[in-house]
Structure formats: C-alpha cells, structure tokens
Structure 1
Amino acid sequence: MNRSLAELMADMPPTLVAEQLIHKLGIEIKEWSLERVTATMPVAGNRQPFGLLHGGASAALAETLGSLAAGAYVAPDGMLVGLELSVTHHRAAREGLVTGVCQPLHQGSQVGTYQISIRDDRDQLVCTARLTCLLRKRPGR
C-alpha cells in the first residue's frame, strides 16, 4: 500500500477520524501490505461483563484487518464492501494485547476472502475469522 493509514486518515476531517472504531478499540496497525496486515488491540477497555475480551471486539479487529487487506488490493481507485464475517472464538483473553494477522485466501476480480488469526500475548490462538468482500477495481486495472 502506497499510503499509510495515518496518511489516509489525515485527509479526513478531525471529527471523523476521532469517531472511528479503530481508535475507540485502541487498534494499532503494525504492518499493511498486499500479502499481510497485522495489528494489536488491548484487552483492557474491550472486555465483556465477565472480564474477558469481548467477542465483538475480536470481530471488529478481524473485519478491520480484512478490510485493510482488501483496500490494499483494490487501491488506489477501487472500493470494497464486506459481505460476510465468520468468527470462531477458541479461548479467552483476559489481559495484555491481542495480535491479529490477516492474509488473503483469494483475491479475484469481484470477490476477496481473507483469513484472520488473533493470538494473545502467550501466542495462543484466541480467535480465527474469515471475511469475504465484494471488490470493485477501476475499469482497466
């Protein structure tokens, strides 16, 4: 990807940037390329009522990573829309950071499918997810 997330968000009005879910969840993008997108997210502030990482926060992290991967694929003039997100929770995370890693399974002319794994600080698998997106590249690309 030629432009970083910070550069893309710099073009947005400050009020729009501040309200983005990525900021509210504390997601930090660590790597963003055509082959792989990685990010971390704190467990603190993203817990469900019983003190464990909220499954919806894991799903939001997964969809964020898959959407960024699809965005890199259709850049600079394409667009994408998420079609389906499937999330399986394997174990609880109680503290620290979780790290999500997204890799494309398929990137075609109209559909992209992305595999996301989320691991805790002990490198134990917390969650796996698969995101399918509708992809639209600019004609002629």
Structure 2
Amino acid sequence: MGIRLDLSDPSRPTGTMPVEGNTQPYGLLHGGASVVLAETLGSVAAALGAGPGRVAVGVDINATHHRAVRSGVVTGRTEPLHQGRTTATYEVVVTDEQGRRVCTSRITCQLRDAPPR
C-alpha cells in the first residue's frame, strides 16, 4: 500500500499513501485503499491511546467517498471523536495534494487488556 505514518502527535496520527499501485481498473484510487489508510490510522491512534498492556481491535468502520483521484499522494488525518475506557472512535479525513476531501471515514475500536502470551 505504501503507507507512511507520521506519529509526531500520537493522539492524531497522519499518514500518506501513493495513488499509484492502489487503483481500481479505471485508474482511480480504489475506495478500499482509502479505507485501508483510514483503518490503519484509526487503529494506530486507538492502540496508542489504549495505554500499556492494552490492545485496540476494530469493530466498525465506514467511509464516504467524495471525489476521484488519479495520481499523486493522498493524506489521512485522524481526529479523536471519543476516547473512552472500552471504546475509541476516530474520524479520518483523506485529502488529495490540493487539500480537497477525497474520503471521510469513521472507525471504532474496542479497547481491552492484551491477551497473555
């Protein structure tokens, strides 16, 4: 997928992903690729927020695709909507190189103790 993460603000991770290599047969960014970027960012944010000895497991994700992208790089930005003891929900906005919204996604993760090894 070519995703590159920026964790300089762990509560709001960002990431980039190239369009090339992540397209559907018509040459457009695949909607599933946008969702992969969103799920990666939301899951990382939830895992970092869960704290030591805890894990985050995705339980729901949805996405609305706003515009097509044919080339370049897209950027995902994570915004916490709810950070509770047992669940965390994030909005991830994916934009193109001109800052136009490509996709809006919401992911909810269950937070729980890590299983014993």
Normalised to the residue count of structure 1, the TM-score between the two structures is 0.77
Identity of aligned residues (%): 51
Q: Which amino acid aligns with 2:45?
A: A
Task: Measure, in 1, the Cα distance between the counterparts of 2:10 and 2:96.
Answer: 24
Q: Say if 2:104 is the partner of 1:128.
A: yes
Say what the alpha-carbon RMSD is for the aligned residues: 1.2
Contact 2:11 2:49 in 1 (8 A): no
Query: Which one has the largest radius of gyration?
Result: 1
For structure 1, the 5+ residue unaligned runs are 1-24
Contact 1:85 1:129 in 2 (8 A): yes
**Aligned residue among 52, 70, 73 for 1:76:** 52
Task: Measure, in 1, the Cα distance between the counterparts of 2:30 and 2:66.
Answer: 13
Tell me by how many angstroms 1:137 deviates: 4.9
For structure 2, the 5+ residue unaligned runs are none
* 1:39-80 alpha-carbon deviations (Å, 9 max, x no partner): 000000000000000000000000000000001111321011
Tell me by how many angstroms 1:32 deviates: 4.8
State the aligned residue count. 114
Structure with the bigger RCO (C-alpha within 8 Å, sep 6+) is 2
* 1:5-29 alpha-carbon deviations (Å, 9 max, x no partner): xxxxxxxxxxxxxxxxxxxx00000
Q: Give the helix-richer structure, 1 or 2.
A: 1
Q: Say if 2:80 is the partner of 1:107.
A: no
Q: Give the strand-richer structure, 1 or 2.
A: 2
Q: Say if 2:14 is the partner of 1:38.
A: yes
Q: Which amino acid aligns with 2:2?
A: G
